[in-house]
Amino acid sequence: MGQSIEVEATVLDDVALFNTDRALTGQDGASFSSADELDGSDFPAELAHRLFSEVPAIDHVFVASNQVVVRRPHGWDDHVVDTASRVISDFFLFY
């Protein structure tokens, strides 16, 4: 088992910024588009894969240090923000 990640979400038009209490990458960020084949070989790729699987209509994920930036061209509603926050929050939980 792991610990859940604290997530604070801010939405700016089509982009949602998720600030976490845990570093998810080193200083270099990782960028993924919905067309990328994600192999889950590292933490950012696996997180992007989970977000693309669980959050409808997103087309880009950028993970850098303790931030996850997600673009959703059709905007964000509370349900979608909550879904993305849950995916990030539960990322380090193992059963």
Task: Confirm if 86 and 18 have CB atoms less than 8 A apart.
Answer: no
User: How confident is the model at residue 90, as a pLDDT?
Assistant: 93
User: How confident is the model at residue 27, as a pLDDT?
Assistant: 84
Say what the pTM is: 0.90
Cα 33 to the chain's mean position, in Å?
12
pLDDT tens for the 95 residues of the chain, in order: 578 899 999 999 999 999 999 998 888 899 999 767 777 678 899 999 999 999 999 999 999 999 999 999 989 999 999 999 999 999 988 64
| CA nearest neighbour of 34 among 20, 49, 23 | 49
**CATH architecture observed for domain 7-89:** 2-Layer Sandwich (3.30)
Domain residue limits, the chain: 7-89
User: How confident is the model at residue 94, as a pLDDT?
Assistant: 65
